[in-house]
A and B are shown apart, each in its own frame.
Chain A
Amino acid sequence: MTIRFNDETFRDDYSFRNSATAIRRFPFPFDKDDYMYSVNMEPHGTGGRAGSVFEKRFDVDEHYVAEMRDRAITLAGDPLRCQSLPHMELAGWDLLELIMQCKAEDYPDLFQLHRDGDRWHWINRPLGIEQRFTFLDPTTLPCGPMEYITRQAQGDFAVLDQRENNLWMDAGMVTSQADWSLDFDIGMNFFEWHAPVPKAAEMGIFQRALKFLLAIPQGAPSRRLNWTMTVNPRLDTSPENYHLWGPEKRTITPENVGAKQYLRVELQSFWRLPRSNALAFPIRCYLIALEDLVTVPKWARRLHRVIRDLPDELAEYKGFAVNRPIIIDYLAQFDDGKPTSPGIFPDD
Chain B
Amino acid sequence: MRATEFSPSIPSRPVYGGLHPHGALPSLMLAEGAGGEALADLAQADPSVMRHAHLFYVPAGAATGPDLAVRLRALGPASYVEGPSYAALRPRFARALADAHMGTRLYLAGSEGLIGQAMAEALAAGLPLEAIDAEHRGGFARRVQCVHCKGITENVATDPFTCSHCGLNLFVRDHYSRRIGAFQGVCVDAETPGIVPEPQEIKP
Given contacts A184-B177, A239-B186, A246-B190, contact A192 B148 (CB under 8 A): no
B168 (CB) vs chain A CBs: closest residue: A243
Q: Are B11 and A187 in contact (CB under 8 A)?
A: no
Q: Are A247 and B193 in contact (CB under 8 A)?
A: yes
Q: Are A240 and B147 in contact (CB under 8 A)?
A: yes
> Is B179 an interface position by the 8 A CB rule?
yes
> Is A138 an interface position by the 8 A CB rule?
no
Taken together as a complex, chains A and B put the C-alpha atoms of A243 and B148 apart, in Å, by 8
> Chain A interface mostly helix, strand, loop or mixed?
helix
B177 (CB) vs chain A CBs: closest residue: A184
Given contacts A187-B178, A188-B177, contact A246 B12 (CB under 8 A): no
> Is B180 an interface position by the 8 A CB rule?
yes
B13 (CB) vs chain A CBs: closest residue: A195
Q: Are A183 and B191 in contact (CB under 8 A)?
A: no
Chain B 173-204 interface residues, beta-carbon cutoff 8 Å to A: 173-175, 177-180, 184, 186-187, 190-193
> Is B27 an interface position by the 8 A CB rule?
no
CB distance from B175 to the nearest CB of A (A): 5
Instruction: Mark A241-284 against chain B: 1 for CB-CB distance below 8 A, else 0.
Output: 11100110110000000000000000000000000000000000
Q: Which chain B positions have C-beta within 8 A of A242?
A: 147-148, 186-187, 190
Q: Are A249 and B191 in contact (CB under 8 A)?
A: yes
CB distance from B169 to the nearest CB of A (A): 9
Q: Are A196 and B186 in contact (CB under 8 A)?
A: no
Q: Which chain B positions have C-beta within 8 A of A192?
A: 11-12, 178
B182 (CB) vs chain A CBs: closest residue: A184
> Is A193 an interface position by the 8 A CB rule?
yes
From the candidates A193, A194, A241, A250, name the one contacting B191 in the complex (CB within 8 A). A250
> Is B10 an interface position by the 8 A CB rule?
yes
Given contacts A186-B179, A243-B187, A247-B190, contact A196 B173 (CB under 8 A): yes
From the candidates A184, A247, A250, name the one contacting B145 in the complex (CB within 8 A). A184
> Is A133 an interface position by the 8 A CB rule?
no
A194 (CB) vs chain B CBs: closest residue: B11
CB distance from B31 to the nearest CB of A (A): 26
> Is A59 an interface position by the 8 A CB rule?
no
> Is A39 an interface position by the 8 A CB rule?
no
> Is A102 an interface position by the 8 A CB rule?
no
B191 (CB) vs chain A CBs: closest residue: A246
CB distance from A266 to the nearest CB of B (A): 20
Q: Which chain B positions have C-beta within 8 A of A250?
A: 191-192
CB distance from A181 to the nearest CB of B (A): 6
Q: Are B184 and A184 in contact (CB under 8 A)?
A: yes
Given contacts A242-B187, A246-B190, contact A193 B12 (CB under 8 A): yes
B positions within 8 Å CB-CB of A? 10-13, 145, 147-148, 150, 168, 173-175, 177-180, 184, 186-187, 190-193
